[in-house]
Structure 1
Amino acid sequence: MTECSFFHIEGYGRKPLVGKRPKPALDGVVAEAERRPGFCAHVASPLPPQILLGITPTQAAEFAVEQASRARNAASRRIRSIDIVMYAGVVSYPVEAGKVVRRHGDKAEVIDPLYTAWLKENLVWLAREFGDALVSVVEHLDEAYPHVHFYVQPPLEEGRLRLDRVHRGRRAQVGVTDKSEQGRVYCFAMSRWLDDYQAAVGASFGHERFGPKRMRTSRWWQMEKRRVQNQANAVAEAARLAAERSVVETKKKLHSQLLLLKEELCRTSDTEALQLIFHAERRKLQQRLDEADKRAALDARRIAKAGAMLRAAGLLPDIGPGELNAPAACSAR
């Protein structure tokens, strides 16, 4: 199945819009986002929404309604109840929820790491696109495709709600008086807006800008699919090369540390070996000194005994013990 990027933004008033293009009121939109009973019949098994950024949708709507009560139109009159007071948008992840989340009763566990990365990229893009006007972001994981609702509050400047500050289509119409030209510049700006979202978020995850029905021609569809896939492959290849470079650098550092450790070990081993040799030679020398002492003592006893025998036989005159110099015992240690 084709995985296409989906980004949509719509303005809502305090009262529903009726006619050829009916539109619900703001309170109904936020009630559906918060999964209030009676407002989410399209969801078989609703899950509590996750607030990813800012305040709750209800709090955002209450602030928008309060701000609208102070707003004035070009004629310095109160704005109509059907006039836009806040924008609500949605970005959808084009992979079936069953492949992204695993449900556990009234909780959902994300099992697709790409979805987590996609979600972070969307939060970054939304914050960069709308700045302080982005007042709430809510995640839904209980429908066919995981998606995120976001709410944007136009600023109130000198009593006027400046929709053009937060909406590119409205911004493009500023200063354009011709009705047909207003429609043209509006559509062009909105198309470029979708292109920017695709380049910043969708293309990085291999999502196409257009679906096969929109492309009409299979040849152009295949070209666009290959272009987006090549771009996604390039991003993945760059990430892989960066990871490989990181691994190589880490290996080099570890190898250098290992060599230093080996050198230190060798120095330590050499010192220990010299110490062992020194102690072994010292023990040998001590043994030789002890043996010399023993031989000197034995020789002294033998000389003393021989002298006594010679004196007894009258062959050696009597002399004092100190007059017979026996070999001195070795005492150097």
Structure 2
Amino acid sequence: MPNNLNERSRKFQFIHLEAYSLQANQQGGKNAKFNKEVKARTVSEVLGEVLRKDGFCNHIQEPEAPGVLYGDLNNIETDCKAYHQNHKNIDKNGKAKALRSDANVLIAGVVSLEGIEQNYKDWDQYKIDVLGFLKEKYGENLAAVVEHTDEENPHLHFYIVPKIGQKLDELHDGKKAVLELKKKEPKALKGKQNKAYIEGMRNFQDDFYNKVSKNFGLTKIGPARSRVSRKTYFEQKKAAEEYRKTLKQIEQNKFFIDSEFEQAKKNIENEIKKEKNNFEKEKRKIVKKVVKETYEETMENYENKNYINKMLFSMTYNKTKILNQEKQISHLIKEGRKHFDRKNEYKKEVSRLKDFEDKYTNLRKDFGKRLNNALGEVKVENDNLKMENQKLRSENENLKYENEMGKYAIEFLNKLKNKLGSKFESFKNDLFPKSSHKHTPENPKIKRRF
């Protein structure tokens, strides 16, 4: 049983945000329906815990200093104080107002995967992807990202500080959604603000899932929170795991295909270069040999001839030399054509490999589309199950109410009967006089029993 729980807990993402102030709110978050933070802790207390200072981490048996992945924890509190002192909010009349003493000045977040030490092998890569997501989303507002490894499950803490002139709520997806609603509807009720907050945070979870967790085979939420059937949950979990495995296999295959393609391309280029060098070498050798043999033969024939023949030979020498050179040129042209044909064959091979790479890329894109469509169908089914579940709950509440009212009525009449005694029948007849209508199948007699 523990293994099953551990398997379930590590298969869905966990990312959470909270906002903190320099001075705690004495009301402890009273009336904050859509504001999920309970303002009982301050910035200094939060940083004291993450830095493992004495008195702030009593729940840790053997505290260890956090591993800093980005930024500097030591500057955060100073930056928060500077923001609180210098930032002014502009009210609806255009007047600048200083922040309240308990105004939020820091957003802190946690990213965790339960059971990771025993079951999950991709934590190091997951950290890199999470850090990339946070840098892209928060930019210069991201103050620090640290890792804790002294608790049961390793996890990340990240901290976001607004710049002077920038509202903190604009950096918090839920609060930002409420701000945008108030701009459109200044008198929006708290219930509507609450819905806007929830929708904003849901979009935040979706964004993190699509950009990070989806690539690691995680589901966005677990079965208890999404209230889906056990069958649907495991189908979603299986689809996510298959997606992760397929993506990993594609990346591995792409590496080998790319390596094979580059090696083939390199071999072809080397072969072309080698053929070209051989051709030039053979060309020089043939030309040199022809020149030498022609010269020797010419001089020998020339010396053996008489004056007249020498004259005739001299006259025909140039013509003979030209014919021999034309033969050599013809031979070189044939060799060049052979070289050109081999070069074309190499080009065709390169084109074939490129076509194979294009088909592989298209196949990968098609698979991604099909998988997204399948996940979309699962989401639609999930939403339908939610609506059906809500309807059944509503009907159940109505039946409970009717049952309670029936019990109350019977109990009341029994007490009244005991109180009135023999007068009860007369009282009952006065309340419910007998009908003068005849009892027919269309108008059956109604019996009342008390």
TM-score (normalised: structure 1) = 0.68
The one of 145, 165, 169 equivalent to 1:164 is 169
- Counterpart in the other structure of 2:429: none
Moved more, 128-137 or 58-67: 58-67
Structure having the higher strand fraction is 1
Q: Using the alignment, how far apart are the partners of 1:265 and 1:259 within structure 2?
A: 10
Report the secondary structure of 1:136's partner residue: strand
Shift of 1:150: 0.9
Gaps of 5+ in 1: 101-111, 271-333
Alpha-carbon contact 1:96-1:146 (below 8 Å) kept:
yes
Q: Matched residues in 1 for 2:276 and 2:88: separation?
A: 80
One-letter code aligned to 1:96: I
1:220 corresponding residue in structure 2:
232
Looking at structure 2, the residues matched to 244 and 230 of structure 1 have their Cα atoms a distance apart, in angstroms, of 21
- Who is 1:67 aligned against? 83
Partner of 1:103: none
Contact persistence 2:83–2:162 (CA under 8 A)? no
Q: Does 1:147 align with 2:146?
A: no
Deviations 1:280-305 (A, max 9, x none): xxxxxxxxxxxxxxxxxxxxxxxxxx
Contact 1:133–1:155 (Cα < 8 Å) also in 2:
yes
Distance (whole Å) between structure 1 residues aligned to residue 138 and residue 144 of structure 2 = 11
Q: Identify the residue that residue 288 of structure 1 maps to in structure 2.
A: none
Report if the CA contact (8 A) 1:5-1:94 is conserved: no
Distance 2:211 2:127 in 1: 13
In structure 2, do the counterparts of structure 1 residues 182 and 220 end up closer, same or farther at CA, with 3 Å as the change threshold? same
> Which residue pairs with 1:192 in the alignment?
203
In structure 1, give the amino acid aligned to 2:54: P
Identify the residue that residue 117 of structure 1 maps to in structure 2.
125
> Residue 28 of structure 1 aligns with which residue?
45
Alpha-carbon separation, structure 1, partners of 2:103 and 2:169: 14
User: Could you tell me how far 1:99 is from its partner in structure 2?
Assistant: 6.3
Please report how far the alpha carbon of residue 247 of structure 1 lies from its aligned counterpart in structure 2 after TM superposition: 2.6
* Matches for 1:261-300 after TM superposition, within 5 Å: none
Shift of 1:233: 2.8
Q: Which moved more, 1:233-242 or 1:189-198?
A: 233-242
Matched residue of 2:152: which SS?
Answer: coil
Separation in structure 2 between the aligned mates of residue 97 and residue 143 of structure 1, nearest angstrom: 11
1:220-262 alpha-carbon deviations (Å, 9 max, x no partner)? 2123213322322332232123112123214314543675698
SS at match of 1:9: strand
For normalisation by structure 2, the TM-score amounts to 0.51
| Aligned-CA RMSD value | 2.9
Conservation of the 8 A alpha-carbon contact between 1:97 and 1:143: no
CA–CA separation in structure 1 for the residues paired with 2:248 and 2:115: 19
1:156 is paired with a residue whose SS is coil
Q: What CA distance in whole angstroms lies between the structure 1 residues aligned with 2:278 and 2:241?
A: 54
- 1:94: how far off? 3.8
Is the partner of 2:60 in helix, strand or coil?
Answer: coil
How many residues are matched? 256
- The aligned residue for residue 133 of structure 1 is 141
Matched, 1:246 2:251: no
Closer, same or farther: CA 15–251 of 1 in aligned 2, 3 Å? same
Moved beyond 6 Å, runs of 4+: 260-267
* Residue type at the aligned position of 2:163: P
More helix by share: 2
Larger radius of gyration: 1
Does the CA contact (< 8 Å) of 1:52 and 1:137 recur in 2?
A: yes
Q: In structure 2, do the counterparts of structure 1 residues 50 and 234 end up closer, same or farther at CA, with 3 Å as the change threshold?
A: same
2:86 is paired with a residue whose SS is: coil
Amino acid at match of 2:17: I
Corresponding residue number in structure 1 for 2:353: none
Partner Cα distance (1:144, 1:249) in 2 = 46
Matched, 1:237 2:249: yes
